[in-house]
Amino acid sequence: MAQNRNLADLSAAGVAVWLDDLSRDRIRSGNLQSLVDEHSVVGVTTNPTIFAQAISGSELYDDQLHALAVRKVGVDEALRTITASDVRDACDLLAPVAERTGLDGRVSLEVDPGLAHDTDATAAEAAHLWWLVDRPNLFIKIPATEAGLPAITTSIARGISVNVTLIFSLERYRKVMDAYQSGLEQRLADGGSLEGIESVASFFVSRVDSEVDKRLDKAGADPSLKGKAALANAQLAYQAYEEVVSADRWKALEAQGARPQRPLWASTGVKNPDYPDTLYVGELIAPGTVNTMPEKTLLAYADHGGPGTPVQKTYEDAAAVLEAVREAGVDMDDVYRVLEDEGVQKFADSWDELTESVRTQLEDKR
């Protein structure tokens, strides 16, 4: 089948199109396959909120829940079994993409967000999920908290491909890139191979505008500054990425077979309806990146999206935007702290909601 022209052009510009959603219904109905065939989708990301919505609203999980219930499986193991099943099936569906591209066809599964501030537990959970799904095109999502950074290094050193999530600041992003390289170096020092190890770094976008715009309003700042901080933040992240992959440290790893940790633009659905619905796609086009979109955003770009200014040409203006935002009284360091804390809490709340839903359904089926 022919690919949508707008999304095919986005892919040709070096942006891997991923879907930020997964459910058993998407897999079994053929919807996910049609997005691959017709909308250039080459990857899938999940999070606890996505699974909470998928499982609570579908009867397709009933048989598996019944089987788990009669076996008297605990809620935590049941939850992992259910989510791993969907991710495994999605990995299998996308395996031809992985074989064709040698890069994409990836599906992400997140560690328990309640472990976000526990390094050892996060690393142990990542290893367990990697074993449980047992597919080479899997990504384990690890949050970019301070405790998450050494868990990223440990996981990469073990040969586990990682999607680092919840990145908001340039400072933290640089630490994420360092953690990835440290993991590769450790693996080489231990005599391991870098073959098959991939990573993406999920830099969140729209949430930055939501928080900054609120503070600009409170400060009585120039309204023209609204809706600009998130793009500027992400554009400067790509500049930081370019600096890292051009440095001698990375070149030495690349010579040993290392693959770049691609920047991934996450949270790309606009939160403010006054902004163009493809804002965080068309203005973030750069080679070697990933944009993971909610289906609504994906279909909007397919319908009327188009390229904006290439990211590499925005660095000077982006720096000026963030400086103007700071001069208007917005403490960007505090913005990043708040967004990270809120991001971890939101996913933890969704995980708790999902756990309770599965617990209730297991009890009903016993």
- Residue 263 phi/psi, 5-degree rounding, is -70, 135
The predicted-structure confidence for 296-316, as pLDDT tens digits, reads as follows 999 999 999 999 999 999 999
Given 72, 141, 228, 365, the catalytic residue: 141
* Nearest of 308, 339, 302 to residue 231 by alpha carbon: 308
Tell me the CA distances in angstroms from 81 to 84, 88, 112, 238, 321, one per residue in order.
5, 10, 13, 36, 46
- Would you say 282 and 305 are in contact if contact means Cβ atoms under 8 Å apart? yes
What's this model's pTM, rounded to 2 decimal places?
A: 0.96
The predicted-structure confidence for 242-272, as pLDDT tens digits, reads as follows 999 999 999 999 999 999 999 999 999 999 9
Instruction: Give the per-residue pLDDT at 364.
Output: 81
Instruction: Give the per-residue pLDDT at 170.
Output: 98
The verdict on whether 141 is a catalytic residue reads yes
**Average pLDDT of the chain, as a whole number:** 96
Instruction: Give the per-residue pLDDT at 339.
Output: 98
User: How much of the chain exceeds pLDDT 90, in percent?
Assistant: 91
Query: Model confidence at 55, in pLDDT bands (50, 70, 90)?
Result: confident
Between CA 6 and CA 4 the distance in angstroms is 6
3-state secondary structure the chain: CCCCHHHHHHHHCCEEEEECCCCHHHHHHCHHHHHHHHCCEEEECCCHHHHHHHHHCCCCCHHHHHHHHHCCCCHHHHHHHHHHHHHHHHHHHHHHHHHHHCCCCEEEEECCHHHCCCHHHHHHHHHHHHHHHCCCCEEEEEECCCCHHHHHHHHHHCCCCEEEEEECCHHHHHHHHHHHHHHHHHHHHCCCCCCCCCEEEEEECHHHHHHHHHHHHHHCCCHHHCCCHHHHHHHHHHHHHHHHHCCHHHHHHHHCCCCCEEEEEECCCCCCCCCCCCHHHHCCCCCCEEEEECHHHHHHHHHHCCCCCCHHHCHHHHHHHHHHHHHCCCCHHHHHHHHHHHHHHHHHHHHHHHHHHHHHHHHHCC
Of 48-52, 105-109, 330-334, which gets the smallest average pLDDT? 48-52
CA atoms within 13 A on the CB side of 320: 4
Largest CA distance in the chain: 62
Query: Model confidence at 4, in pLDDT bands (50, 70, 90)?
Result: very high
Stretch 211-225: mean pLDDT, rounded?
A: 97
Instruction: Give the per-residue pLDDT at 53.
Output: 87
Instruction: Give the per-residue pLDDT at 286.
Output: 98
Q: Which fold has domain 5-364?
A: TIM Barrel (3.20.20)
pLDDT at 320 over 90: yes
| Close Cβ partners of 327 (under 8 Å, ≥ 6 residues apart) | none
Q: At what angle do helices 332-364 and 315-327 cross, to 10 degrees?
A: 90
Instruction: Give the per-residue pLDDT at 57.
Output: 74
Query: Model confidence at 58, in pLDDT bands (50, 70, 90)?
Result: confident
The predicted-structure confidence for 132-179, as pLDDT tens digits, reads as follows 999 999 999 999 999 999 999 999 999 999 999 999 999 999 999 999
Instruction: Give the per-residue pLDDT at 210.
Output: 97
| Close Cβ partners of 83 (under 8 Å, ≥ 6 residues apart) | 46, 51, 109
Query: Model confidence at 60, in pLDDT bands (50, 70, 90)?
Result: very high
Instruction: Give the per-residue pLDDT at 329.
Output: 97
Domain range list for the chain? 5-364
